[in-house]
Amino acid sequence: MDSAARLSPLRAEAARLSSRSIRDLVAADPERVHDFALRVGPLQANFARQRYDRVALERLFGIGESCGFETALRALFDGVPVNSTESRPALHSALRGDTGQSDAARAAHAQALDARGSMRATIAEIHALGVTDVVSVGIGGSDLGPRLAVDALAPLHGASIRVHFLSNVDGHAAQRVLARLDPARTVALVISKSFGTQETLLNGRILREWLGDDARIFAITTNVARAAGAGISAARILPMWDWVGGRYSMWSAVGLPIALAIGMEGFEHLLAGAADMDAHVRGTPVRGNLAAWHALTCVWNRNGLGLSSQAVLPYDERLRLLPNYLQQLVMESLGKSVRVDGSPVGIETVPVWWGGAGTDTQHSFFQALHQGTTVVPSDFIGVVRSDAPYAANHDALLSNLLGQSEAFANGQDSDDPHRVYPGGRPSTMLLLDALTPHALGALIAMYEHSVYLQSVVWGINAFDQFGVELGKQIANGLLPALDDARRADDPVTRALIGALGRG
């Protein structure tokens, strides 16, 4: 059965529930507050404010079972080439633990352990240079995960090395980063799987000229030859592998900026949290599996309710970059319109993921979420215990987290139509006991596995990203056209080159 046929009953379930509000669903089934909740280690999840009842939820669980979630997860962890278009496994779980039970998974885990030894040696070498600052140069998967983790965790650890990130090819980005640094006390990490990414190479060149010392540049890549050709000694190159996609690579040596910012012990706690989530996901049947429940909820909102957008609302300033990270993880993985066999998928796939940190966003886009015509489901993310010494602020933060989720779900009637809140906005609540490396690792791994299981439902490949290539190819071809517009084939592009005062 193809995915469109398998999911077709969801519309009927949604129609059956269309006249029932979230408030009504909760009132009619008080036990759902507890029964629609799961805890895995430091992470609690509550799905009680989703717009499904037990019957629809059972239908969703049945879909997960009929799609072979357990088999698909076994294939992922054991290194079967689940990236079928590129004939590669996706063994990011092997970077953080030994959950896989195949020879391929064990070999990958052994390589990951060796790479951790190289990371420790590199960290010691960088400290020996008397470095105060590190600039991490990368883009996409080589940037977003480490940037998120450093921003979230570094303030807690008081590391002696400050880590800065440079991704955008816009020269103003490099100018801003370097303006406050001393080249004599700085090293650069150039992170690129292929060592052929235009933005990273151009920014790497800026760093090389600014430092004036090749010995202060380190690389993380699969392409040692290209890195060596750029003047980086093999002794300063750490490995990446084809069996790890860029957006799943923060657990590898790509996480060196994290280890520099929070210490290698902190980085290993991040890995351990992800490995614990891996063990839960692999070993737990669909009905008690947090990643499966999250994935099926996303499918329900997309294909049952027909909702085309998903908000991520972390109520912790340290997680402000989580929406940016999830945009790539989810949309690059699931932004596909053909199945693994090349046939049209026949149903809607990924919604638009976006968001921002509360409470700031309450004063920006929440108006549209509460009273706009488009219903947007949300993942609310909170942290139970604060590390800041401002108890009143944390109480206010948590009360806003709870209040906004309640208002989205229940709404409010009024005699004044301008003050009516329709409610019916579904949300999932995800609570971390505290924002530790272990908890952050578990949260990110949960999202990774949710994305994979959504791809299993839709019959698409979560691990290629051919869609990012065409625009970049055209852009590379247009570089000469900036000096001679006649080289541009497209008439609109030729006109725009003229508007730029070029060509």
Active site residue 86: no
* Residues 441 and 269: beta-carbon distance below 8 Å: yes
Say if residue 373 is exposed, middle or buried (CB neighbours under 10 Å; 0-12, 13-18, 19+): exposed
Among 58, 127, 265, 472, the active-site one is 472
From the list 34, 172, 209, 363, the catalytic residue is 363
The yes-or-no answer on residue 336 being catalytic is no
Neighbours of 372 (CB within 10 A): 13
- 294 is annotated as an active-site residue: no
Q: Point out the catalytic residue in the list 332, 336, 448, 449.
A: 332
d(CA 323, CA 346): 28
The 8-class DSSP code of residue 421 comes to B
Task: Give the separation between CA 276 and CA 438, rounded to whole angstroms.
Answer: 9
Do the beta carbons of residue 149 and residue 270 sit within 8 Å?
Answer: yes
For 81-144, give the secondary structure using H, E and C: CCECCCCECCCHHHHCCCCCCCHHHHHHHHHHHHHHHHHHHHHHHHHHCCCCEEEEECCHHHCH
Residue 175: other Cβ atoms inside 10 A: 10
The H or E element spanning position 219 is strand 217-221
Give the C-alpha separation, 122 to 218, whole Å: 9
Sequence-ordered list of residues with C-beta below 8 angstroms from that of 172, at least 6 positions apart, any chain:
none
d(CA 199, CA 195): 10
The three-point CA angle 462-463-465 to 5° equals: 100
Active site residues: 332, 363, 472
